[in-house]
Structure 1
Amino acid sequence: MKVNFFTKFHRNEGSSPVMDILSDIKNGRYADPVTNLQKAMKKGEQASAEAIKKSLPAFTLSATYSARRVDTGIIHYNGVLILDIDKLEANKLKEVKEKAIAIPHTLFCFRSPGGKGLKIGVLPHVSHPVEPENHRKTFQVVQQYYEELLDIQVDPSGKDIGRLCFVSYDPELYINPLHAAFLRGETDACLSELPLMDSLPPINKKLSIARKQTTRRMKYEEGNRNNYLFHFANNCNRLGLPAHEVIAYSQQQFPELSDDERLGAIHSAYRHKGEHALQTEQAEDKSISILERIEQHLEERYKLRYNIVTHRVEYKRKSSNQTHKSMNDRAENSIWRELVKKGIKCKQHELNAVLYSDFCTTYDPFVTYFNSLPKWDGQTDHIAHLADTVTTTKQDLWHRCFRKWLVAMVACATQEDKENHTVLILKSEQGKGKTSWCTHLIPPELKEYRYSGALNPYSKDSLITLSECIFVNFDELGSLSTREMNKLKELITKGVVRERLPYGRNPETLIRRASCAGSVNDEQVFEDLTGSRRFLCFEALKIDYMAPVDYQNVYSQAVTLLKSGFQYWLSEPEIQEINSNNEDFRIRTPEEELLFTYIRKPEQKDEKKMFLTASEILRHMCLKSSMQITKRGTMTISTTLKKHGFRYSQARKGRIFEVVVLTEDVIEEEQKSNSKPPHTQGTQGVIGFSS
């Protein structure tokens, strides 16, 4: 059997055979830090002890994980549990260990690194399926079973599948020979020889309840032993237990008291005949809190999970074949009615507190979907087949950009520190199917996580949408103002945002998961002279939006490319190519359009060369036209000249450019000849990039 080995709480060092770890614990591999930890505890140096403990490696007995210890990252569920018992004195520790190793379900047992507790590995044999969704239920059965037999409380933290167990040093570490082959991974679990753990005899169950009730109010310790036994016997009397059963139990469990002391306390309690059997098992044990009863009811009837994308609880009845649904007010109120009708008098806010706690396992729909895909065959280019359903004016570039964008979408949806900084944009006439094709990119299993429509760059809801959706399809980007377009560019590059969710009490860090696409009917979309590399723009000649999409194989290929290190981000040469391609989609300002009507780039040793600032060039243009001199116009002139390779230098009056101002005759001749604008001369060729 393999387990995951973790350092520094969260660093997954991969899987290891559990027998190797147990062997290291027994043979002293961690003896030095464990000894130092125990010395620090004896000296009362809590901070030092805590630091040493945190430095110890730990392992996850119940499951192995691909990365983080979250339910969606489980690779294999081992179906075994770890029990933690703390704060035991030396003599009590020895007694509890002897009892623990006598229980046939015990896999192994060793001292905790602090030296005052025990770690017990358990192979559960219960009447329900031992599966991840039943882990808490299984733990509760095992916890009650061991508490009954060990007569001591078990730490409830083991209810979490990803519970870490710190390594230790114990030369007397025990491994149950009955299960050694199972621990080595040589055989399956030997359950046939183990008794069911959830079938305790009724008397034992009531004794356990009475013991919990009493321990909840007081301790069994020197100076209080008689009083403890008296209250314990009172609880047994109210539960309807026969006095002789309590006497027999007390002889085993309370040997520190004499026979006379035990009999006196029990007989005194049982004199209250009117209280006998007053407490039913339904009202049972007030040590079972309202919280525990709510959890028991939910575990019996529902499969619950917390969707970390939508921040909502999802539920399904165990008796139903329907899929999980998002928990709404009506569903939550219905569950509350069930609880009240069952006699569990809880308030609605108590039910809500349980639902929105770690009681519900976490669920990531994107990671779950992509992990469920079949393996790509490594040959068929399914992404290319999907790209071919759109014919563009630059088909090769379209193929390469679409592949990068699709792989980036998978990365953005599944990896916290990755964002898709590009937006796929299709331009065509109305009615060609742009929006429909984009919508069909998302598999049916994830359709509720897509959004089509306008996205307000200034709205908090838009930021939340980028976290709760895998895909956002912008309608008509051309309708956005320049300011809104710039804000949108800022929005799509965000990695995380801090916002308070609707009905939430505190701001939360929301991870960006959405990738974006859009459509336009007008060719000219951008004004940004410095380039629009965030946008992958293509003119679509034909769109087959009715073509079926092989979602599983398309995304399986994308996942494989991502895991193999495929470069889905743009390199510098690729950015140049994208900027060049986007020129056809850019709105040019009047200053930019008229600039090359009045000036040109000087030739070598050009006698007509002049040295002018951008403002001087704009002033000359304004004298020849109806334009006005503005700060933005000056900036446009400067940016355009630099973009087209005009030489410049710094002078006292500012940055000056080398230009040739055209005469009226030349301008008139150019306009008559309908020749190409001078700014097209000497432009660089397109730089390609590989897929």
Structure 2
Amino acid sequence: MTNTLTSNENLSHSKSTEISFFKTFFVPPKERITIERLFELIKTGGDFKENIQKIRLESNKELRNGRKKLLPAVTVSGLFENERKASNLGTHSGFLQIDFDEVSDPFSAIELLKKDTYCYACFLSPSGNGVKLIVKIANQKNQHTTCFRQLENYYKTTYNFTVDKSCKDVSRLMFLSWDENIFVNENSAVWEILIADNKNKFSSLLESFQKRENFVSGNRNNFVFKLSLECYKANIKMHEVVQLVSEKFATDGFTVDEIERTVASAYKSKESVVKESKGEDQHTSYSLLKRAENYLERKYQIRLNEVSGRIEYNEKSKNDRFRELNENNIYRELQHQGISLSLNKITSLLLSDFVPLYNPFLNYFENLKPYDSKVDPDYIDKICSYLPVNDMERFRLHFRKMLVRCIACALEPTVFNKQVFVFVGEGQNTGKSTFCRWLCPDDLGEYLTEYVNTDKDGLIVLATNFLINMDELATLSKAEINSLKSFISKDKINIRLPFAKRSSVHPRRANFIGSTNNDEFLTDETGSVRWLCFELTGKLNFNYKKDIKIDDIWRQAYSLYKDDFEYQLTADEIKENEKVNNRYLVSSQEVQLIQKHFLPANRENGEFYDATDILNFIVGKYSHIKSNTRSIGKAMKSLGFARSTKYDSEKRFSNYGYFVELISMQN
């Protein structure tokens, strides 16, 4: 929140407010005076004026302090009963005293404080070497210390004035002073506790900021400086930033003083930008680089898309869509503005932290309407009903997991999606490909691609897209399928993006979906865990497009993701999937011939054949066949033949093979 002049339900912060009065330091509180009377006594000096003059002439500090205790005094913050201590506070006055001791130039300090929004009254201290200030605060007793700490930070960061920490004591005694020029501003603002809106604004900003910056040793000052720049843009006051950052990050090794200096430095740099934008010292006070920054900040929104690696911009006055920035155009524009910065320096500026990071995936999901399971329907379950899938129960489970897995892969650097989600269905125009494209929301449309080559360009596609739609898997060769399999297994990509100067490691963000009209497209008999295949028994119900919004599906999936929904396949689900995928394997010659001549059997009623025996049997019948024992083993495994052992008493060792029943004579 921004501290503004406010009214108080219980107290008007008026001159008629009463406070405890002490004739001297040694006398208990038996009297009370109004704030108005306090100001009159300070202005005239009352009957203590002569003592004040002696105090100001006294060079011996000990004697000076002794004379001060003979002065009348008040407790600015309220009325006390019997004894002056915090527990005896009867009514809080709504005022708080601030002491600036031993100020180098008290009169200049007073002139400065007169312009301060929160200065209700300020005057010289009894010694004449300091300044006393009275501020209106929220009047609840339990807010006094908090208000003091925030005011302490405020005056330190705003004016570099050090406040006497004793003022945090609500029973703090203030010795009356004499200042004919006492300043009083009845319309000063009330200092309110830093509450809800600015705390929430700061918390939200910090959460987003920590996703791209880390508060670690060696980066603490840089972290706070950059965070402060963000807070400045969010219109959070400097002293509030100091307070909130200190509460969160201050330690013995990173003190409040250091935080104050860092925040003040950030705000000072930003305030210089504001002055320049108003035309002050445009050609003398700022370097070319600073003038370039100021010009670009005033005219454009610029961001670095951390997914594509591109620098994007739009013109603030037009508020149009973001598009790729061309530094050559920026160079030309700056030259026309009389800012003769070299192209290399412009490029360096655009690649520095002057340009904030932007993640389109995180931006999309974070800006979706929150899903409420108590109110919203199960959109994921609903969309499943529009697809004529052979095994609906299994499909509902894995479709839900796939959606959440896609989000995790896109957002988390350490997560990658190991599976390709495939729709299998005979015939054209069933709606498979259209549905796969529809799954990509409009806002992420530019991060959908239809194919990926298994080369350097393909690696870039893996790092810079949300969905890769493999439209017709059946057209891929065995070599292409196997190359694709290795691509699917990548979790990180070491490449140089088109706009980068050097190679770097990027997270794999892309997720694979696909479709095929051919029910035989898998080629690896040793296992196909990376493929999740679902058979369509007919055309999709195309009403899903008008009945369901894709954003609703993704916001439900994002809710599941944030609730730690288990999106990875379990061991049992992997085994089940392997069995399901056997029906989609391309039938090799070995598979076809084994199916023709052998049936699975057991030890009691079958004959034992090892892979060599089976190979010799097949080659003996089909001499043109070229195969090997490894291919035979893969085929036997994919067909479900159990691998067993049998002891050979003549050779005295156990051999691996299969118990089978020959059926060749029947064909």
**TM-score, length-scaled by structure 1:** 0.57
Correspondence for 1:544: 541
Name the CA distance, whole Å, in 2 between partners of 1:657 and 1:571: 30
Aligned CA distance change for structure 1 residues 344 and 592 (closer, same or farther; 3 Å):
same
Distance 1:360 1:645, change over 3 A: same
Aligned partner of residue 592 in structure 1, secondary structure: helix
How many Å separate the matches in 2 of 1:565 and 1:636? 38
Pairwise CA distance, 1:520: 0.9
Identify which of 373, 377, 395 aligns with 2:372. 377
1:473 aligns with 2:469: yes
Aligned pair 1:419/2:416, yes or no? yes
- Alignment of structure 1 residues 33-432 onto 2, 5 Å: 64-66=205-207, 69-70=210-211, 113=253, 118-120=258-260, 140-142=269-271, 144=272, 198=275, 281-285=281-285, 288-327=286-325, 329=326, 332-379=327-374, 380-428=377-425, 429-432=427-430
Given residue 368 of structure 2, which amino acid in structure 1 is its aligned partner?
Answer: L
* Whole-angstrom CA distance in 1 between matches of 2:604 and 2:225: 87
Match of 2:443 in 1: 445
Equivalent-residue separation in structure 1 for 2:239 and 2:206 (angstroms): 28
Q: How has the CA–CA distance of structure 1 residues 400 and 637 changed in structure 2, closer, same or farther, with 3 Å as cutoff?
A: closer
Alignment-derived partner of residue 616 in structure 2:
619
Matched-pair contact (CA < 8 Å) for 2:641–2:658: no
Which deviates the most, 582-591 or 538-547?
A: 538-547
Residues 224 and 263 in structure 2, CA contact (< 8 A), matched pair in contact too:
no
CA distance in 2, matches of 1:200, 1:295: 11
What CA distance in whole angstroms lies between the structure 1 residues aligned with 2:240 and 2:631?
81
User: How do residues 509-658 of structure 1 correspond to structure 2 at under 5 angstroms?
Assistant: 509-540=505-536, 541-545=538-542, 547-548=544-545, 549-603=548-602, 605-606=604-605, 609-626=606-623, 627-637=625-635, 639-640=637-638, 643-649=640-646, 655-658=655-658
- Does the Cα contact within 8 Å between 1:72 and 1:362 map onto a contact in 2? no
Instruction: Give me the whole-angstrom Cα distance separating, in 2, the residues matched to 1:532 and 1:104.
Output: 60
**Partner AA of 1:316 in structure 2:** N
Say whether the 8 Å CA contact 2:615–2:629 is kept in structure 1: no
Partner SS state of residue 316, structure 1: strand
Aligned pair partner of 1:462 in 454, 458, 462: 458
The equivalent of 1:659 in structure 2 is 659
Conservation of the 8 A alpha-carbon contact between 2:242 and 2:259? no
CA distance in 1, matches of 2:584, 2:516: 10
1:62 and 1:398 map into 2 onto residues whose CA distance is 40
- The secondary structure found in structure 2 opposite 1:350 is helix
Name the SS for the 1:119 alignment partner: helix
Whole-Å Cα distance in 2 between the matches of residues 625 and 345 of structure 1?
81
In structure 2, how many angstroms separate the alpha carbons of the residues matched to 1:107 and 1:400? 49
SS in structure 1 opposite 2:539?
Answer: strand
CA distance change for structure 1 residues 19 and 512 in 2, over 3 Å: closer, same or farther?
A: farther
- Looking at structure 2, the residues matched to 310 and 537 of structure 1 have their Cα atoms a distance apart, in angstroms, of 30
CA RMSD of aligned residues (A): 3.9
Question: 1:477, 1:520 within 8 Å by CA — same for their partners in 2?
Answer: yes
Q: Report if aligned partners of 1:111, 1:118 keep a CA contact under 8 Å in 2.
A: no
Paired letter, 1:66? E
1:140 positional shift: 2.2
Cα deviation 1:375-410 (Å, max 9, x = unaligned)? 212151101122222212222222221111111111
- Letter of the aligned partner of 2:333 in structure 1? E
SS at match of 2:615: helix
Determine the C-alpha separation between the residues in 1 that align with 2:371 and 2:255. Answer: 51
Tell me the distance in 2 between the aligned counterparts of 1:587 and 1:199: 71
Task: Please say if residues 392 and 542 of structure 1, whose CA atoms lie closer than 8 Å, have aligned partners that are also in contact.
Answer: no
One-letter amino acid of the counterpart of residue 403, structure 1: R
Q: 1:362 offset after TM fit, Å?
A: 0.7
Alignment-mate amino acid for residue 210 of structure 2: R
* Cα distance, 1:545 vs structure 2: 4.4
User: Equivalent pairs: percent with the same residue?
Assistant: 27
Is the 8 Å Cα contact of residues 390 and 535 (structure 2) preserved in structure 1? yes
Shift of the 104–492 alpha-carbon distance from structure 1 to 2, 3 Å rule, reads closer
Q: Is the 8 A contact 1:106 1:121 kept in 2?
A: no
Give the 3 Å change call, closer, same or farther, for CA 298–520 of structure 1 in structure 2: same
Paired with 1:500 and 1:650, the residues of 2 have a C-alpha distance of 57
Greater Rg by CA: 2
Alpha carbons of structure 1 residues 139 and 404: separation in structure 2 relative to 1, 3 Å: farther
Superposition pairs of residues 483-502 of structure 1, within 5 angstroms: 483-502=479-498
Instruction: Return the alpha-carbon distance in structure 2 between the equivalents of residues 373 and 519 of structure 1.
Output: 28
SS at 1:66 equivalent: helix
1 CA distance for matches of 2:389 and 2:424?
9
For the 8 Å contact 1:306–1:360, the answer to whether it is kept is: yes
CA apart distance, 1:66? 3.4
Q: Do 1:316 and 1:323's aligned partners in 2 also have CA atoms closer than 8 Å? A: yes
Deviation of the 1:117 alpha carbon: 6.8
Q: Measured at CA, do residues 502 and 577 of structure 1 come closer, stay the same or move farther in structure 2, by a change above 3 Å?
A: same
- Structure 1 Cα separation of the partners of residues 503 and 277 of structure 2: 47
Q: CA 1:612 to 1:352, structure 2 compared with 1: closer, same or farther past 3 Å?
A: same
2-side partners of 1:115 and 1:557: how far apart?
43
Structure 1 residue 118 displacement after superposition: 4.3
C-alpha distance 338-434 of structure 1, shift in aligned 2 (>3 A): same
Separation (CA, whole Å) in 1 of partners of 2:312 and 2:318: 14
Is the CA contact 1:304–1:361 (under 8 Å) kept in the aligned structure 2?
yes
Question: How much does 1:310 deviate?
Answer: 0.5
Q: Counterparts of 2:278 and 2:559 in 1: how far apart (Å)?
A: 54
Aligned to 1:537, what secondary structure does the other structure show?
A: strand
Give the equivalent residue in structure 2 for 1:173.
none
Contact conserved, 1:106 with 1:122, CA < 8 A, in 2? Answer: no
| Cα distance change on mapping 1:406 and 1:19 into 2, 3 Å | farther
Kindly indicate whether the alpha-carbon contact (under 8 Å) linking 2:407 and 2:558 is maintained by their aligned counterparts in 1. yes
Distance 1:635 1:69, change over 3 A: same
Alpha-carbon distance in 1 for matches of 2:263, 2:240: 5
- Give 1:654 deviation, angstroms: 7.5
Which whole-Å deviations, capped at 9, do the CAs of 1:14-54 have from their partners, x for residues lacking one? xxxx979x89x99xxxxxxxxxxxxxxxxxxxxxxxxxxxx
Which amino acid in 1 is paired with 2:412? Q
Q: Contact 1:618–1:633 at 8 Å: present in 2 too? A: no
Residue 315 of structure 1 deviates from its aligned partner by 0.7
Distance 1:647 1:306, change over 3 A: same
- State the TM-score, normalized to the length of structure 2: 0.59
Aligned AA (2:471): D
Counterpart amino acid of residue 120 in structure 1: E
Q: CA deviation at 1:569?
A: 1.0
Q: Matched residue pairs, number?
A: 442
8 Å CA contact 1:499, 1:507 repeated in 2? yes
SS in 1 for 2:313: strand
Q: Supply the AA of the counterpart residue of 1:539.
A: E
Query: Does structure 1 retain, via aligned residues, the 8 Å contact 2:608–2:658?
Result: yes
Counterparts of 1:343 and 1:317 in 2: how far apart (Å)?
20
